[in-house]
Amino acid sequence: MKFIVGIGNSEKKYDKTRHNVGFRALDGLIGSLETEGKRLSLYKKFQADISEMKDTLLIKPETFVNLTGDCISAIVKKYTATPKDFLFVCDDVNLTFGKLRLRNSGSAGGHHGLESVISVLGTDFARLRIGVGSEAMPKDDLTDYVLGKFSAEEEKRLIENFNVAEERQVPGILGKAISICKTWMNEGFEPAMNRLSQLQSIG
């Protein structure tokens, strides 16, 4: 069993904020799989919204970002899962807006959601970071920034050219993230890294 986890805050007021871009990528992944005719079972469990395929769970924890590990702990116990069975998708203020970074291990890099996950899994799991940083963000307290919404231009770049039925088009930022998640799910980490390189090279 594989597990792809979007990190975000579940309350409605946080929709489309920078901190919730991991949720948006997961929602797009679910929509893409449904368009392909994949069968997904939807339910709530482990303090999360779960979309289940035959061998993959797509997970949106209902806890706040800094409690993401609570959900992961319950899943590990239920499925005897290992860290390498997981891919987490989250925002990253240390990356320029739109840049994607996929790693197979590492530190939290200041992300409280990943800190919570590391307390459960250790550091040896895959994470796809979506850059939300900009020169305009504050230098010290980033709370208001990450809980703020994207600008109109950023929003356009997130979703531009994304059509789940026509993957030949160059996707926007979320479309790229979705494609990388699908590659990891179907083929593994190294093919997902290769897919990221391809997508970054075409802009």
Q: Which residues are identified as catalytic?
A: 19
From CA 34, how far away is CA 37, in angstroms rounded? 5
Residue pair 50/1 in contact (Cβ under 8 Å)? The answer is no
From CA 136, how far away is CA 120, in angstroms rounded? 34
The CA-to-CA distance between both ends of the chain, in Å, stands at 33
Helix (H, G, I), strand (E, B) or coil at 84: helix
| Residue 17 DSSP one-character state | B
Reported residue count of the chain is 203
Which tokens hold the place of 118?
A: 């590391």
